[in-house]
Amino acid sequence: MKYDGIMIGFGKAGKTLAGVLAKKGGKVALIEKSDRMYGGTCINVGCIPSKSLITSAEHAGCCSDGDFSKKADYYKSAVEEKRRVTSMLRKKNYDKLNDLEGVTIYDGIGHFLSATQVQVDQKDGSSVILEAEKIFINTGSEPVKPGIPGIENNPKVYNSESLMDEEKLPGHLILIGAGYIGMEFASMYRNFGSEVTVLQDGGNFLPREDRDVAEEIRHIMENRGIKFLLGAKTTSIDGGRVLYEKDGSSHEITGDAILIATGRRANTRELDAERAGITLTSRGAVQVDEYLKTDVPNIWAMGDVNGGPQFTFVSLDDYRIVLAQLEGKDRSRAGRVNVPYSVFMDTPLGRVGMTEAQAREKGIPVKVAKLPTAAVPKAQVLRKTDGFLKAMIHAETGKILGAALLCPEAYEMINLIKLAMDMDADYTVLRDQIYTHPTMTEAFNDLFAV
């Protein structure tokens, strides 16, 4: 079976590129091993389902009030709503491509036979060999499974994907890992009404953030009843019992569910990449250059699988980079700067650019602007006044170096700061802008009044 292009994986970059090439008259094969993953990680097991549950959790009522059985019933309905949303989006993604004449979808595991051939092992036990001069890898990532004794075949142990399908609300949720995924889940389940304890091997909480930002996040969460055990190294798990070492002694804690939130890794194990001459990094990702090309000039890797930032919006930009090459244009990762990210906790965090610590380490003369969330009228209206807004400004040029917004709607606001940075605008542009009222964005009038 010969095609103009083969997509291994139905993720954001792959599905978008497949659709565009087909509309241009190309003949494209799209391979996906799971009928529950049409559309990729974000739609099915990542951003969308987690944000659906987070939204439901925010409407669950105060975590310390109410009958737990009622909260458990509400949680079950929230999981059902999450399934409805993901199923609807999954079907839309499938139909959108399946309806295109130039796209053929193969359900099965795709793996390389050579630099131009991919074998698809289909669910019915049969195999088909596909051939193309251009092949695109978009197989995404999967949760990391650390080598902790007692994890395997333990019904009380979950990862970030499997826990979102659990219909029973845990009375006590133990999280192993205090990264961004862990913080979203800790906040979510506390809002649903679970008791939450977070264990982290290492005492530096959220090390990528400035200390004032990290400590404020921890303060907000502890005020809501989330417990942190930092410097706690998990040694083994026995059912719902977690054994750990802290301060030179052994301890244990018992929960109804244990979430392993220790990050995600590139999904390359089934690719047989070596048969195509593709190099993998030490972390198992597909090695690519600035144009997302592998060592093999006709094979590209897009999205989480290439070891870049694990965001669906970065995967979309990967698609733009590859499409530009196919159209004879010059676009690469070198031009991708000021990549923002958001953590959908309660209170949410929006981040872009340098931290204050990074700017000072580089010897940049930095002016720090800071504003309490409580000073923003819209925050008072929302009755969500925890946190603060912080921006780093070059003291000599007036250019914005970075920002950390720990406040309601930070995930929307951060995009405006990113745009100002991309446009190389002076901070006074945001300071002097006319904003609607009452909104969180108008806080920039006061934040940048430094």
Active site residues: 437
Is residue 313 within 8 A of residue 297, CB to CB? The reply is no
Backbone angles phi, psi at 205, to 5 degrees: -75, 130
Backbone angles phi, psi at 6, to 5 degrees: -120, 125
> H-type helices in 59-110, by residue range?
68-98
Structure tokens belonging to residue 275: 């048969």
Q: CA torsion, points 77, 82, 84, 89, in degrees to nearest 10? A: 170
Residue with tokens 């965090």: 349
In whole angstroms, how far apart are CA 279 and each of 273, 290, 300? Answer: 7, 15, 12
* Distance between CA atoms of residues 140 and 315, nearest Å: 9
Structure tokens belonging to residue 121: 């092992």
* Distance between CA atoms of residues 444 and 399, nearest Å: 15
3-state secondary structure of 186: helix
Is residue 433 within 8 A of residue 448, CB to CB? The reply is no
Beta strands in 151-275 (DSSP E): 157-158, 172-176, 195-200, 227-230, 233-238, 241-246, 249-254, 257-260, 264-266
3-state secondary structure of 53: helix
Beta strands in 275-338 (DSSP E): 299-301
SS3 content of the chain, % helix, strand, coil (to 5): 35, 25, 40
- Judge if the upstream peptide bond of residue 438 is cis by omega within 30 degrees of 0: yes
Per the document, the length of the chain is: 450
Burial 127-146 (b: 16+ CB within 10 A, else e): eeebebebbbbbbbbbbeee
Backbone angles phi, psi at 212, to 5 degrees: -70, -35
Residue with tokens 């807004």: 389
* Distance between CA atoms of residues 441 and 353, nearest Å: 18
Structure tokens belonging to residue 246: 């802290």
Cβ count near 433 (within 10 Å): 14
